[in-house]
Amino acid sequence: MRGDTLIVFCRAPRLGTVKRRLAAGIGPLAALRFYRGQLGRLLREAGRDRRWRTELVVTPDRIRWPTGHPRGLAMRPQGGGDLGRRMGRALARHRRAVLVGCDIPGLGRADIAAAFRALGRADAVFGPAEDGGYWLVGLGPRRPAAPFVGVRWSSEHALADTLGNCRRHRVALLRRLRDVDTAADLAALGG
């Protein structure tokens, strides 16, 4: 598994720039605290696991990371384009990679290990989200050519659209989790 890469897709943790839909319901400072806490937890939980390499793929492209930069992790810019284009570019750099965001409180290293195991028998793996999107995408060497084309991002159709682009490939699905985009999502988790 050591050739595997975990890509943590994130935004530089700065007030007013992270979790804007969540901030509309709980305020920008509380949203920043949530975001920093989740990113830190994810990197502590899974970022240093020896079974895979971890890299942060960040936006904005030219950032000065605030205090607490996760030292020892590769950091790359996301580049331009919509979410699908940026994710596709990040995944294309690696033969086998799993990409996650940092707004999934239930996500742990066991989920990432399960995704890499699934890539042993599937060409793509997804972690379905409660809202119709997905909290994880992983691609292996026989990956779909254009998995993110025409996807209706931030909608209940995101996973279905992406799966439609993977029709001729073997796909594995992981457990369903809730990502936190809004105050209602956070409340549903008891937060």
Q: How is the chain split into domains, by residue range?
A: 5-188
* pLDDT by position in tens, the chain (length 191): 458 999 999 998 989 999 999 999 999 999 999 999 999 999 998 888 999 999 999 998 877 665 555 667 888 999 999 999 999 999 999 999 999 999 999 999 999 999 999 999 999 999 999 999 999 999 999 999 999 999 999 999 999 999 999 999 999 999 999 999 999 999 998 86
Look up the pTM and report it. 0.93
In whole angstroms, give the CA distance from residue 39 to residue 85: 22
User: What's the rounded Cα separation, in Å, for the pair 124 and 163?
Assistant: 9
Q: What is the C-alpha to C-alpha distance for residues 115 and 91, in angstroms, rounded to an integer?
A: 14
User: Is CATH 3.90.550.10 the classification given to domain 5-188?
Assistant: yes
